[in-house]
Structure 1
Amino acid sequence: MKMTLVAVLAALAVTLGVAPVAQAGPTIHVGPGTAYTPFPDVEGYCSIGAVGTDNAGRLVALTVGHCHQGAGTAVYKVGDAAKGPIGWETDVYSRNTDGTFTALDYAVIRLNPDVVVPSKYSDATDVVVSTVGDASPSNMGCNHGATTAKNCGIIGKVDGIHLQNWAVMWQGDSGGPIVVGETLVGLNIGMDFGTQPTTFYGKITPILADINAKGSYGAGFTLVQ
């Protein structure tokens, strides 16, 4: 009995199977000091402080509140905007509206697990964020921002919700981490250009406590390992 060409092809398909189409996985590294922006066509950016998961299993990043534009705003990694957004801003944030260092200054970004490769490692310096904790005066604290990279200085003051050290920072570094060793102790929030310029950071423990109290994105934050 002769088989038609259609029957032969059908038999081959059953025998050999159909090869699945390869799907592209996450390709965009996001970690401490990653530069991001909601406006990829406009100059300017902020930095990621740390990446982790919350108690709902969502992939999130911590950054500074004065860079926050509005819940639902898409954000892009600088240099990789063509690959699409790495995530979206949430309604979990706090900022200094008066330009002073009087309030908590942080924001939680919901990351897109379809495109983001989350990391505790910087892709530009040797800064690593492995744990969360508090700093003490005289500790050596190293910050990492997208503009000035890694800069270290002695922590001179730890007071309330802030800490300070003598280390360089500039526009675009906001939101980046300050670490003691591999311990995240704060987020970069700005510089006081007084007679003795110092960089200000929001202490990470009050920030996480405030996030937990809101019970939404970022609550129960656990660093990626």
Structure 2
Amino acid sequence: MVAMGKLGIRVLVAAAIAVFAPSGLPGNATAAQMAIMGGGSGIVLDGRAVCTLTTVGYDHADRMVGLTAGHCAELGMPVQSDTQQAGVIGTVAVVDHDNDFAVIEFDRTKVTPVRQVAQTLINGIGVPPRPGDIVCKNGRTSGFDCGVVWDAPGWWFQSQLCSRPGDSGGPVTLGDRLVGMNVGHIGVVVLGVTVVDAACGTAVVHDPAVAIEIGVILGEIDRSGGVGAGFRPL
């Protein structure tokens, strides 16, 4: 668990990271191999942690960049697709652990960026969701699902979405607009012990997932002025 900087609550992020078996790691790419990547694609960081890409776009310097959860990454980590045989396709260029996001700079010769992955279509950046809105997420482990927003007190919101190991960093959308980044869920406390939400994906009501508003993340990146600043979606 981590106590997220502005969040003021303890979020069970450890349950949102999956460990990737090295034996399954994609091999070296040939000149013809390209990884198709977009919001909801699975990624492998440093050959061991599996998380989900929030979105892909370009920054003020026309670099191809992507976003994921900060607790998945450390600066300089190589990034690969979790399913496509394209080798190393990018590098972690920015990590903000306080606000729990990371920026990946992609190799444009290795990546074909897309707006749609499975049912998730991202056609732009949306305004923060409000309680009662129906948002959807896409994670490399639990896939696509939708749920109602319960609470949106400020720079984050919680909703009735499923979050399992490997889903961290996944996009949260309202319609076809990106509104948040999935970072985990608030742990259920039983007899003083925080446990993983076993009901996730199997029950109508389960422990709400926590997401950071995408506008807050992009604002922090812009203030840094580095890789990812001036982000524009595809």
TM-score normalised by L of structure 2: 0.76
Query: Secondary structure of the equivalent of 1:174?
Result: coil
Q: Does 1:151 align with 2:151?
A: no
Structure with greater helix share of residues: 1
How far does the alpha carbon of each residue in 1:141-163 deviate from its partner, in whole angstroms, 9 at most, with x for none?
Answer: 00100000101100111122101
In 2, Cα distance between equivalents of 1:25 and 1:222:
27
Query: Secondary structure of the equivalent of 2:141?
Result: coil
In 1, Cα distance between equivalents of 2:138 and 2:159:
13
In 1, Cα distance between equivalents of 2:210 and 2:82:
24
Q: Find the partner of 2:40 among 33, 37, 45.
A: 33
Instruction: Could you list the structure 1 runs, at least 4 aligned residues long, displaced by more than 3 angstroms after superposition.
Output: 23-26
Residue type of the partner of 1:94? D
Residue 112 (structure 1) shift: 0.7
In 2, Cα distance between equivalents of 1:185 and 1:152:
13
State the match for 1:86 in structure 2: 89
Percent of pairs identical after alignment? 30
Residue type of the partner of 2:114? S
Residue type of the partner of 2:96? S
Q: Does 1:105 align with 2:100?
A: yes
Matched-pair contact (CA < 8 Å) for 2:80–2:90: yes
Number of residue pairs aligned between Structure 1 and Structure 2? 188
Unaligned runs of 5+ in 2: 1-29, 190-205
State the match for 1:137 in structure 2: 131
- RMSD across aligned C-alpha pairs, in angstroms? 1.7
State the match for 2:155 in structure 1: 161
Q: Does 1:188 align with 2:182?
A: yes
State the match for 1:56 in structure 2: 61
How far does the alpha carbon of each residue in 1:15-57 deviate from its partner, in whole angstroms, 9 at most, with x for none?
Answer: xxxxxxxx945621000111111243x4x40000000000000
Query: Secondary structure of the equivalent of 2:152?
Result: strand
Query: Secondary structure of the equivalent of 2:223?
Result: helix
Matched-pair contact (CA < 8 Å) for 1:26–1:117: no
Q: Which has the larger radius of gyration?
A: 1
